[in-house]
Amino acid sequence: MAKLKILEFPDARLRTKATPVEVVDDALRAFIGELFETMYDAPGIGLAATQVDVHKRLLVADVSVDKDEPHVLINPEILEKDGVTVTDEGCLSVPGYYEEVERAEHIKVHFLDRDGAEVELDAHGLLAVCIQHEMDHLDGKLFVDYLSEAKRQRIRKKLEKERRQQGAVVA
Ligand code: GNR
Ligand code: NI
């Protein structure tokens, strides 16, 4: 298995709207394994295929402390959402920045699991927040889009500057 490269804001590829997964097969399960390896290594609590430049509607998540509760959501659809919760969100595609975002506290979500079986899951708290954050990635949306234009530009400029400096070191 291989660790995959994570795209970083403001990479335009993060704005791609992912298309539904058509077949859940061994090739897809191999890719799911790579998503988990990349997420756990980062480390992060979730990862959407979009972030590794694969524009299929698929995400992985594990918000457990012991990192032993992996979730795979293929073609996820939110059936219900209620309540409000505010979380200091971060994103592996926006490294180093954390800002408060308001999301539903509870969601009922329908998806296919890694065997292609249909599942309905009630998620609350951090898992619900994480799934909403990952589903935004599948639609080309980032948590910085919920911030003011000024904050988003500030983060973009700082990340671009860091990137230029890293580029200068390697060159
Ligand atoms: O690792 C992550 N932590 C996190 C914290 C609060 C809300 C959402 C997240 S998701 C993030 C990993 C990531 O970027 N997934 O797309
Ligand atoms: Ni993210």
pLDDT band at 168 (very low <50, low <70, confident <90, very high): confident
Any atom of ligand 1 within 6 Å of the Cβ of 132: no
Rounded mean pLDDT of the chain?
Answer: 97
Q: To the nearest whole percent, how much of the chain has pLDDT over 70?
A: 98
Residue 126, pLDDT > 70, answer: yes
Mean pLDDT of 97-123: 98
Q: Do the Cβ atoms of 58 and 65 come closer than 8 Å?
A: no
pTM, full prediction: 0.97
Quick count: other Cβ atoms within 10 Å of Cβ 47?
Answer: 28
| Active site amino acids | 134
Q: Which of 38, 63, 89 to mutate to test the pocket of ligand 1 (most atoms within 8 A of CB)?
A: 89
For the stretch 41-83, pLDDT in tens is: 999 999 999 999 999 999 999 999 999 999 999 999 999 999 9
DSSP 78-121: EEEEE--EEEEE--TTSTT--EEEEE-SEEEEEEE-TTS-EEEE
